Structure 1
Amino acid sequence: MRKIKKNQVYRHFKGKFYFVEDIAYDSETMKQVVVYRQLYDDKQLFVRSLEMFLSPVDHDKYPHAQQKYRFEEYDFDNKKQA
């Protein structure tokens, strides 16, 4: 199973970059959520279920997506998916 790295940059399959700040728990369900910040515009903070963050891209809905997963770790030093 894939794991999320905190304090790491991830690339969304649509091309934008996000910084994972932490993993938290939904107080109602106790399911894990990823706390992440967009690295563009106003740097908004978001949460998304861990399951969805790690999910594969729906290639039926997005046939031209090049990534396998919705979010993939990105290495800016080497300018590629980690």
Structure 2
Amino acid sequence: KFKNFVNQPFLYLVSDGKKNLLKIGQTVNPFNRFSQYHNISEHKPIRFDLFSVGSFIEQDLYEDKLRNYLEFLGYLLPKDNTNCRLKYI
């Protein structure tokens, strides 16, 4: 069943054990992301929410809109350096 998750467009949210949002991103293979964020969290529990999107074009659009909305709500997303955004916050 898990092979159906490879080469599909996904958005994901990573949060820590205290439910703080750390990052939003996109991937076509969510399995290669788990260990990366487990290491970032210093091996503390993390939550990885995965959302399927319809197409690769929508993937970019939804990622940008969701990141902008979360920033508007006040989330810092401290592990999300997409487009070097951490320089500006």
Q: TM-score range by the shorter chain?
A: under 0.3
> When the two structures are superposed, what TM-score results if normalisation uses the length of structure 2?
0.25
Larger RCO (CA within 8 A; separation ≥ 6): 2
Report which of the two has the higher share of strand.
1
Q: Which has the higher helix share?
A: 2
